[in-house]
Amino acid sequence: MVSLELLAQQFVNGLFFGGQLALIAIGLTLIWGVARVLNFSHGAMFMVGGFVGYYTLGATGSVLLASVLAVVVVFALGYVIEHSLLEPMRDREEFDIASMVVTLGLAIFLENAILVGVGSQRKSFPLLTDVVWNVAGLTISAQRLVIFVISLVALGLLFLVITGTKLGLAIRAVSQDSDTALLMGVRPKRVYSITFGASAALAGLAGVLLAPMFSVYPSVGWYPFLLAFIVVMVGGLGSVRGTLVAALGLAVVRSISMIWIASETAMMVLFAIMVGVLVVNPDGIGGWLDG
Amino acid sequence: MTGSTLGRSLGRARKRLLEDARGRNGRLLAVGTALALLAPLALTAYALDIVMQLFVAILVVGSWIFVAGYFGMFTFAHAALYGVGAYAAVLLVAEAGVNPIASILLGGVVAGLFSLPIAYPVLRLSGAYVGMVTLAYAEIIYRATILLREITGGPTGYTGFPHLFDGDSVAMYYFVLFVVAALMLVMYVLLVNRFGLVARAIRESPDAARMLGNDVSRHKLIGFVVGSSIAGVAGALQAYSILIISPPMLEIERMIEFMAMGIIGGLRTLSGGVFGVVVVFGLNELLRDYGEMRLVVWGAMLVVVTLYFPDGIADSDFDVRERLAGGDVPVRERIREAIGR
């Protein structure tokens, strides 16, 4: 018999993990929603963020500086990638497949270029704090709580930008109808590049924040990418709200199911859920939430 | 298919084959065939092994192009089904005492059966969504081969194979060559006939194809299952030629490798796939001592080819001599065009 404490503990762990997952997944959903790109290099952006953070931390000792620099560098990288690789193909009929292949090629290129450059050994990243609280029988690590809060703040900022600023208005306009937006004086190309940069920057930030748990190495991005991939499919590609709900929900399901089954099996269950959702409704749960 | 339509199909395929054979691709094919037939005279057992794996890769990539290039169903499940074919063939021999040669064919049948659960959702989806749902299915199969260790041997894989042809590597070589050539021919015949035309019509516009009276779902289903079954046969051939199967055979990395070959060569023709396999294999051998460097090169190639050569480097106007001579070179034109835009 599973004790109530264990269930509650797994629930909390799942919720925390869901916040981290949302940080990675929302970038993925954003860039699909706005620019119709299924970005296979999202995991590579996570990895680059981790490396920038790792070296900055080594040189300066400041986690804050490491995070800020990772966000800035990965934003710039994302902007350049969109502008130079994806923009030239935009008018192609099979743009969604072509962009998938290009970003996949880019991910292989980045991962292995870094592998050749610095080797495959895992670089460990120090914990911000090793404080652990005991609340009503639950173990809560301060580190995870801080990351959860930072994730929510970053996502909150993103929401504010999208709903409350001129740039956000332009992003929403382009995602709905880029031709009409162009007529209204919005430059869709700029918007695509900025959105891609912002999406990548979220992954880069996650790369630094999660580095203490995942450590830093060239192929570190694939597992978070796969999880985020499942989350956005279930949440509905392009739906920020659906993705947030799916991230929290799936992370809790995964966490609780791991009381009984191994993590490999849990991953299979998640993939099966994803196939099921896609078969029933390709728009995911976001289709209901936004509709 | 009735006797007379079959006869007509074959006649048409023969005519196309003869037309092709008069062209440059035909001469390349003739030279390639001659080299493949004579290879055992000149090559060591080790080199022969590599060539055998090249043939298997040609079959997998060819069957992927059959599905992804002609129908536009961009599947990520092909490597997983190739692995299913390998495991099925070997387990049928070990557990059910099936004849090894027959098991290779049965491996294809089992892979075809495994493709069915995902085939139905794929029929209703388009573009990147096909990629997503097949990627998920491939991951499920991959993880299942690791988890079901009583059946599959788990992460370390499965050995204990029967040797085909008493371990005679030259006989094995000719057998692989024969099976690969035969199945490539089957796909070729299908594709130069009405079936292939409908496939391309579906790729360009499913609605238009439907309005012209074609059963789009049935064509896509047949295309997906046939392509997947052939990948399964290729997996079985690979299993018997390297005598071990393990989960990495089904991993997404393998899929990406096959995709890279197909895309670099060109998704619009089977010969493009063959060309891509030869190029990537050659590259891998050249860069053998540089480890991960070859993956850097590949990643870059995938990006460059998709950007500047949407139909691959072996598209219909491919001509080695023209390109080497540097005269009126299509490559340069394309690059100029791309940069100008």
Question: Model confidence over B193-204: pLDDT tens digits?
Answer: 888 888 888 888
Q: Which residues of B touch A111 (CB under 8 A)?
A: 295, 299
**What average pLDDT is seen over chain B?**
84
Average pLDDT on B36-56 reads: 87
pLDDT at residue B326, as a whole number: 46
Give the confidence band of B333 by pLDDT, cuts at 50, 70, 90. low
With bands split at pLDDT 50, 70 and 90, how would you rate the model's confidence at B336? low
Contacts of B72 in chain A (CB under 8 A): 94
Is the CB of residue A138 less than 8 Å from the CB of residue A5? Answer: yes
pLDDT for the residue numbered A263 = 81
Residue B324 has a pLDDT of 47
Residues 6+ apart with CB under 8 A from A21: A224, A227, A228, A231, A247, A250, A251
Give residue A291's pLDDT. Answer: 55
Distance from the Cα of B31 to chain A's closest Cα (Å) equals 32
If DSSP codes are grouped into helix, strand and coil, which group holds residue A252? helix
pLDDT of B149: 86
For B17-31, what is the mean pLDDT? 68
Judged against a pLDDT cut of 60, whether residue B321 lies above it is answered with: no
What confidence score (pLDDT) does residue B4 get? 62
pLDDT tier at B329, thresholds 50, 70, 90: very low
Instruction: Provide the pLDDT for residue B207.
Output: 86
| pLDDT beyond 90 at B19 | no
**CB-based contacts of A17, cutoff 8 Å, min separation 6:** A251, A254, A255
CA distance B340 to A71: 33
pLDDT at position B86: 95
CB distance B81 to B140 below 8 Å: no
Q: Which residues of A touch B310 (CB under 8 A)?
A: 92, 98
The partner residue sitting opposite A271, judged by closest CB among B139, B300, B303, is: B139
pLDDT score for A52: 96
Task: Provide, as residue numbers in chain B, all residues whose Cβ is less than 8 Å from the Cβ of A283.
Answer: none
Q: What are phi and psi of A153, to 5 degrees?
A: -65, -45
**Quick check: B61 pLDDT over 90?**
yes
CA B220 to chain centre: 17
Residue B327 is predicted with a pLDDT of 43
Q: What is the pLDDT of residues B266-279, one digit of tens each?
A: 888 888 888 899 98
Axis-axis angle for helices B293-308, B270-286 (nearest 10): 150
Q: What residues of chain A have any CB closer than 8 angstroms to a CB in chain B?
A: 38, 85, 88-89, 92, 94, 96-98, 100-102, 104-113, 115-116, 226, 229-230, 233, 262, 264-265, 267-268, 271-272, 274-275, 278-279, 282
Tens of pLDDT along B211-230? 888 888 999 999 999 999 99
Where residue A199 sits, what CATH number does that domain have? 1.10.3470
The residues of B whose Cβ lies within 8 A of any Cβ of A are 72, 74, 118, 120-121, 124-125, 127-129, 131-133, 135-137, 139-140, 143-144, 146-147, 256, 259-260, 263, 291-293, 295-296, 298-303, 306-307, 310, 338, 341
Q: Which of A28, A189, A225, A275 to mutate to test the interface with B (most CBs of B within 10 A)?
A: A275
Q: Which residues of A229-253 are buried (b: 16+ CB within 10 A; e: fewer)?
A: bbbbbbbbbbbbbbbbbbbbbbbbb
- CATH topology assigned to domain B11-340: ABC transporter involved in vitamin B12 uptake, BtuC (1.10.3470)
Among A21, A143, A149, A23, which residue's Cα sits nearest to residue A74? A23
Looking at beta carbons, which residues of chain B come within 8 Å of A268?
139-140, 143-144, 147
* Most confidently predicted of A54-58, B18-22, B323-327: A54-58
**Predicted confidence (pLDDT) at residue B309 exceeds the cutoff of 90:** no
Is B132 close to A108, i.e. CB distance below 8 A?
Answer: no
Q: Are B115 and B77 in contact (CB under 8 A)?
A: yes
What percentage of chain B has pLDDT greater than the value 70?
85
CB–CB of A275 and B137 under 8 A?
A: yes
DSSP B166: G
Confidence check: pLDDT of B331 > 70: no
Report the C-alpha gap between B178 and B321 in whole angstroms.
30
Name residues whose C-beta falls within 8 Å of residue B224's C-beta, 6 or more positions apart in sequence: B67, B71, B73, B75, B115, B119, B122, B123
Say yes or no for a CB contact (<8 Å) between A101 and B133. no
Q: Is a pLDDT exceeding 80 seen at residue B109?
A: yes
Burial of A280 (0-12, 13-18, 19+ CB in 10 A): exposed
Structural domain that includes position A94: 4-289
Which 8-state DSSP code applies to residue A83?
A: I
pLDDT on residue B21:
59
Chain B environment of A43 (Cβ under 8 Å): none
Query: Residue B80: what pLDDT?
Result: 96
Looking at residue A185, its pLDDT comes to 79
By C-alpha distance, which of B335, B338, B72 is closest to B224?
B72
A104 to chain B, closest Cα gap in Å: 8
* pLDDT number for residue B3: 55
pLDDT at A188 (0 to 100):
84
Q: Give the separation between CA B253 and CA B82, rounded to whole angstroms.
A: 13
Whether A224 contacts A46, CB under 8 Å: yes
Count of domains forming chain A: 1
Compute CA A176 distance to the chain's CA centroid, rounded to the nearest angstrom. Answer: 22
CA distance linking residue B297 with residue B285, whole number of Å:
13
Q: Give this complex's ipTM.
A: 0.86
The segments of chain A whose pLDDT lies below 50 read none
Residues near B134 by Cβ (< 8 Å), separated by ≥ 6? B74, B75, B76, B77, B118, B122
